C-alpha cells in the first residue's frame, strides 16, 4: 500500500488531524438576534409548476421559499390561492380559536387540572390552513402540535378538553397523555408520543387506499427535529417506490426542545430538499403565510388525488412558546428570537390582509377574540363537570383492562378483579371527596 510509512513512523502521522463539527445555533440567551442570514424571498416571485409536473421540476422550490402575502398585506403571484373573503375569515376564526384554546389549556395545566400541555403558538397556519385545503375526509396522521386540524374540522372543544383532563367523559378513557387525541369520525389518526412513527403509517394508509382503488388520500405532520428518525426515511422510500398518495408536512419551527434545527441537518440543506434524493415533489413554504400554506397543501393534495404521487412540504415557521409545559425556552435561546422573527405572526398577517381587502377591521377582530375566549371558557366549564385529572371523576377501574385485546383473557380478568378490590381496600367508604 502506498501509505506505508518508512523509518518507523505510524500510519497517518503526517496527515492533517481530523476535526468533529458540532452545530451551534446562532443565538443563545442574552445574544442580540440578527436574522439577516435568512433568505426571506419576495412574495409572488416563486413559480408554480403544474400539479402533474415531474418531481424534478419542483427541485428549485425545495431550496426557495414560497410566499404569497407581502409587506403591503396583499396577495402576490401564481401561488395566490384566490380564496374568498368568507374562506379567509373562516381560517382566521379557526386560528384565533386555537390560540385562545392553547392559552386556556396552558393555564389549566398550571392550575393543576391536568399533567401536561403543548401550545402551537406561531404555527397555527401550518395546521389550520392546511386542514382547510384538504377534503374533510382526507386521512390525517398528525403529531402532537396539530390541534388546529381538529378545531378546523369542527371537533367539539369540550371533547378535546375531556381528553386533556382524562376525565370520565374522555373518549380515550383516560389512557392517553393530554393532547394525544384520536377521532376516526374526523379522519384524525390516534397520536403517538413516539416521534415520527406516524409517517410510515400514513404512507401505508395511502398505499392501502390505492390498492383498493379508493379516492382517500393521506397527509402527515412531523417536526423538523423528528425527520432524523429512521421512520422518516423509511416512509419517504416507500412513498416514492409506490407513488403513494400521501403528503409529508415537515413543520420546521427551528427548535426541537432545546436543540436547534442544525441537529437535524439544517446547516447543510433544507428539509424540503430531502425530497430530491427520493425523487418526489418538494416545496419549501413560508409557514406563517396562511395563503402560501393553503396553496401548497392544496397543490400537493391535487397531485396525490390525480395519481401524481407524494409531496414533501417544509413549512418554515417559528415555535414562539416553549416546547411544552415542562420546558423553559429562556434557558437555551435568545428571547429576541421570537420578537424579531422576520416572517411575523400568521394570525396577524392574515388579519392585516383581510383588513387591506376591506373585509375586516380591528373592532371585528376584537369581537372575534372575545368570542373565542368565551367559547373556550364555556367548553372548559362543561368539561370540568366531568372531572379534572386526579380528582376521582375518571373512567371506572375495569376499563383499564379493556382494549388491551379484543377479548379479556383470563390473566387480565384476574388483574381487573385485583384492581377493583384494591380500590375498595384503599377507599372503604367510596372515593374521597
Residues that bind other proteins (CB under 8 A): 20, 22-24, 28, 115-116, 166-167, 170, 173-178, 180, 192-196, 225-226, 228-231, 256-259, 263-265, 326, 331-332, 389-390, 394-395, 397, 400-401, 404, 411-412, 415, 418-419, 422-423, 425-426
Q: How far is the CB of 302 from other proteins (least distance, A)?
A: 31
Considering only 53, 177, 208, 257, the residue that binds ligand TPP (CB under 6 A) is: 257
In 18-157 the beta strands, taken as DSSP E runs, fall at: 139-141
Sign, Cα dihedral of 271, 219, 165, 160: positive
Contact 46, 64 (CB under 8 A): yes
Q: How far is the CB of 332 from other proteins (least distance, A)?
A: 5
Does 53 interact with ligand TPP (rule: CB under 6 A)?
no
Q: How far apart are CA 367 and CA 256, in angstroms?
A: 35
For cell 409506490, name the residue.
242
Considering only 29, 60, 193, 409, the residue that binds ligand TPP (CB under 6 A) is: 193
Nearer to ligand TPP, 69 or 131 (CB): 131
Nearer to other proteins, 220 or 308 (CB): 220
Residue 75: beta bridge partners?
A: 69
Does 270 interact with ligand TPP (rule: CB under 6 A)?
no
Nearer to ligand TPP, 287 or 309 (CB): 287
Give the residue nearest to ligand TPP (CB). Answer: 223
Q: Which does 314 bind (CB under 5 to 8 A by kind): other proteins, ligand TPP, none?
A: none
In the chain, what's the furthest Cα-to-Cα distance? 89
Q: How many CB atoms lie within 10 A of CB 306?
A: 11
Q: How many CB atoms lie within 10 A of CB 326?
A: 12
Grid coordinates representing 129 are 390552513
Q: How far apart are CA 154 and CA 143, in angstroms?
A: 18
Considering only 152, 179, 191, 256, the residue that binds ligand TPP (CB under 6 A) is: 256
Residue 41 zone, left/alpha/beta (φ > 0; ψ -120 to 50; rest): beta
- List the strands of the sheet with 311-316, edge to edge: 139-141, 218-223, 246-252, 311-316, 281-286
Q: Which stretch binds ligand TPP (CB under 6 A): 38-46, 203-211, 247-255, 308-316?
A: 247-255
Nearer to ligand TPP, 196 or 304 (CB): 196
Binders of ligand TPP among residues 287 to 326 (CB under 6 A) are 319, 323
Site string for ligand TPP, 202-241 (x = CB under 6 A): ---------------------xxxx---------------
Q: How far is the CB of 252 from ligand TPP (least distance, A)?
A: 8
Does 145 interact with ligand TPP (rule: CB under 6 A)?
yes
The distance from CA 272 to its chain's CA centroid, rounded to whole angstroms, is 16
Q: Which does 174 bind (CB under 5 to 8 A by kind): ligand TPP, other proteins, none?
A: other proteins
CA proximity to 217, closest of 306, 280, 153:
306
Nearer to other proteins, 20 or 211 (CB): 20
Q: Which does 119 bind (CB under 5 to 8 A by kind): ligand TPP, other proteins, none?
A: none
Grid coordinates representing 270 are 433544507
Nearer to other proteins, 76 or 398 (CB): 398
Give, as one character, the DSSP assignment of residue 342: T
Grid coordinates representing 182 are 384520536
Does 109 interact with ligand TPP (rule: CB under 6 A)?
no
For residue 61, the SS3 value is helix
Burial class (CB in 10 A: 0-12, 13-18, 19+), 93: middle
CA proximity to 81, closest of 51, 40, 121:
51
Does 274 interact with ligand TPP (rule: CB under 6 A)?
no
- Contact residues: ligand TPP, CB under 6 A: 145, 193-195, 223-226, 251, 253, 255-257, 319, 323
Amino acid at each position: 500500500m502506498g501509505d506505508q510509512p518508512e523509518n518507523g513512523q505510524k500510519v497517518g502521522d503526517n496527515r492533517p488531524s481530523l476535526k468533529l463539527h458540532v452545530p451551534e445555533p446562532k443565538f443563545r440567551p442574552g445574544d442580540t438576534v440578527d436574522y439577516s442570514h435568512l433568505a426571506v424571498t419576495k412574495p409572488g416571485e416563486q413559480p408554480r409548476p403544474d400539479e402533474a409536473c415531474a418531481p424534478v421540476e419542483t427541485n428549485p422550490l425545495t431550496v426557495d421559499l414560497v410566499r404569497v402575502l407581502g409587506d403591503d398585506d396583499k396577495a402576490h403571484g401564481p401561488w395566490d390561492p384566490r380564496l374568498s373573503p368568507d374562506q379567509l375569515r373562516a381560517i382566521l376564526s379557526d386560528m384565533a380559536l386555537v390560540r385562545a384554546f392553547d392559552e386556556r389549556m396552558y393555564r389549566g395545566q398550571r392550575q393543576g387540572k391536568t399533567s401536561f400541555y403543548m401550545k402551537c403558538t406561531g404555527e397555527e397556519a401550518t395546521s389550520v390552513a392546511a386542514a382547510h385545503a384538504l377534503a374533510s375526509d382526507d386521512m390525517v396522521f398528525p403529531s402532537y402540535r396539530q390541534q388546529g386540524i381538529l378545531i378546523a374540522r369542527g371537533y367539539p372543544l369540550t371533547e378535546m378538553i375531556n381528553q386533556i383532563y382524562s376525565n370520565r367523559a374522555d373518549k380515550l378513557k383516560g389512557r392517553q397523555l393530554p393532547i394525544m387525541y384520536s377521532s376516526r369520525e374526523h379522519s384524525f389518526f390516534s397520536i403517538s408520543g413516539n416521534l415520527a412513527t406516524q409517517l410510515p403509517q400514513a404512507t401505508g394508509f395511502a398505499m392501502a387506499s390505492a390498492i383498493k382503488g379508493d379516492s382517500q388520500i393521506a397527509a402527515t405532520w412531523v417536526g423538523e427535529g423528528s425527520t432524523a428518525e429512521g421512520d422518516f426515511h423509511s416512509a419517504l422510500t416507500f412513498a416514492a417506490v409506490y407513488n403513494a398518495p400521501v403528503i409529508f408536512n415537515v413543520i420546521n419551527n427551528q427548535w426541537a426542545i432545546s436543540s436547534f434545527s442544525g441537529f437535524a441537518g439544517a446547516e447543510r440543506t433544507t428539509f424540503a430538499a430531502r425530497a430530491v434524493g427520493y425523487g418526489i415533489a418538494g416545496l419549501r413554504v413560508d409557514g406563517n403565510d396562511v395563503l402560501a400554506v393553503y396553496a401548497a397543501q392544496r397543490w400537493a393534495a391535487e397531485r396525490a388525488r390525480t395519481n401524481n404521487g407524494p409531496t414533501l412540504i417544509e413549512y418554515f415557521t417559528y415555535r414562539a412558546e416553549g416546547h411544552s409545559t415542562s420546558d423553559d425556552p429562556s434557558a437555551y435561546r435568545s428571547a429576541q428570537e421570537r420578537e424579531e422573527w422576520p416572517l411575523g405572526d400568521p394570525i396577524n398577517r392574515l388579519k392585516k390582509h383581510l383588513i387591506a381587502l376591506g373585509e375586516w377591521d380591528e373592532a371585528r377582530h376584537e369581537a372575534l377574540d372575545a368570542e373565542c375566549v368565551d367559547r373556550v371558557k364555556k367548553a372548559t366549564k362543561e368539561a370540568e363537570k366531568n372531572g379534572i385529572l386526579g380528582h376521582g371523576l375518571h373512567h371506572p377501574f375495569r376499563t383499564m383492562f379493556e382494549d388491551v385485546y379484543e377479548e379479556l383473557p383470563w390473566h387480565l380478568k384476574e388483574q381487573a378483579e385485583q384492581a377493583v378490590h384494591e380500590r375498595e381496600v384503599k377507599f372503604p367508604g367510596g372515593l374521597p371527596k
